[in-house]
Amino acid sequence: MADNCIFCKIARGEIPATVVADAPTCMAFRDLNPEAPVHVLVIPKAHVPSLNEVASPALFADLMQMAREVAKQEGIAASGYRVVWNTNADGGQTVFHLHAHVLGGRQMAWPPG
């Protein structure tokens, strides 16, 4: 837990978010500035800065499991979607509490920017 971390605050219920999935170790909520018709963030409830610091394979599995459950729930599993882990500066990470972006509902471009 980190006092001034925005996603820790969301995990603690101190900042409102539109939660779409909840489990003991992780949760998912809609991105404030969606880049696609479906744009959901999956986070661990405990503070982990980035993908580099994930210590537990079980936590990683929980996050990935929730990402694909969210895709199914949002109706984009069959049409297709993208799971993105922006990591550190070159990866474009701006919030340093681990999160997977689940994006879909439109054709994604490749290569990414």
Does 81 bind ligand 5GP (CB under 6 A)? Our answer is no
Does 5 bind ligand 5GP (CB under 6 A)? Our answer is no
Hey, is 101 helix, strand or coil? Answer: strand
Give dist(CA 22, CA 39) in Å, integer: 16
Which residues lie below 8 Å from residue 82, measured CB to CB, with a gap of 6+? 101, 102, 103, 104, 108
**Known catalytic residue at 99:** yes
* DSSP bridge partners of 103: 39, 82
Does 51 bind ligand 5GP (CB under 6 A)? Our answer is no
Question: Tokens representing 56?
Answer: 């537990």
Nearer to Zn ion, 49 or 105 (CB): 49
Residue whose tokens read 């499991």? 65
Does 37 bind ligand 5GP (CB under 6 A)? Our answer is no
Helix (H) or strand (E) holding 83: strand 81-84
Pick out residues in 4-43 that bind Zn ion (CB under 5 A): 5, 7-8
Residue 47 interacts, among ligand 5GP, Zn ion, none and using kind-specific CB cut-offs from 5 to 8 Å, with: Zn ion
Residue 52 interacts, among Zn ion, ligand 5GP, none and using kind-specific CB cut-offs from 5 to 8 Å, with: none
Provide the binding-site residues for ligand 5GP, judged by CB under 6 A: 6, 15, 17, 29-33, 41, 86, 92-95
Active site residues per annotation: 99
